[in-house]
Structure 1
């Protein structure tokens, strides 16, 4: 039972952090894409191609149609932006993530 309590505590902290960042209204797939893009950008530079995202451990079990639907939604909401006019689909973090949420500003 101690393990379940630890998982509960971790999820509670995670939900609070997501809320603080303004991510609490996103679907699980949208959050996974954002985390994957952030992780890949830290390693490979700010521009991430969709095929790189699809190979990320957080997204390997997400159906292709669900992935593209969530990706399009993140672009529409300003969390991601298309990066240039390349032949492949490339994205970077959007202004919505670079700017802190209004409720966290002092």
Structure 2
């Protein structure tokens, strides 16, 4: 098995897992923000926007695209603004399967 075929197999597995979790409806940027937020969500008071913006998955995403996708994730219920902070802090919610 070549390296590219191994990578293709991993991509296929990832796609299957995303479908099973209901993440296929998200755009690639929304998925990356959700993945980054989930990775950073071990913080007790939520995920800060600054942490998301500095995450490696966001390195090629423009600020306007990031904030549009973030708003979309909130509207879809994947993230919500923290009730204990003014703004810029989000709580991660499990996808509705």
Q: CA RMSD in A?
A: 1.7
Q: Aligned residue for 2:9?
A: 9
Aligned length in residues: 97
TM-score, structure 1 as length reference: 0.83
Q: Which has the higher contact order (CA 8 A, sep 6+)?
A: 2
What are the ranges of 5 or more consecutive residues in structure 1 without an aligned counterpart?
Answer: 102-106
TM-score (norm 2): 0.91
Q: How does 1:1-106 map to 2 (within 5 A)?
A: 2-42=2-42, 44-45=43-44, 47-84=46-83, 86-94=85-93, 97=94, 99=96, 101=97
SS class of match (1:45): coil
4+ runs of 1 displaced by more than 3 Å?
none
Q: Gapped runs of 5+ residues in structure 2?
A: none
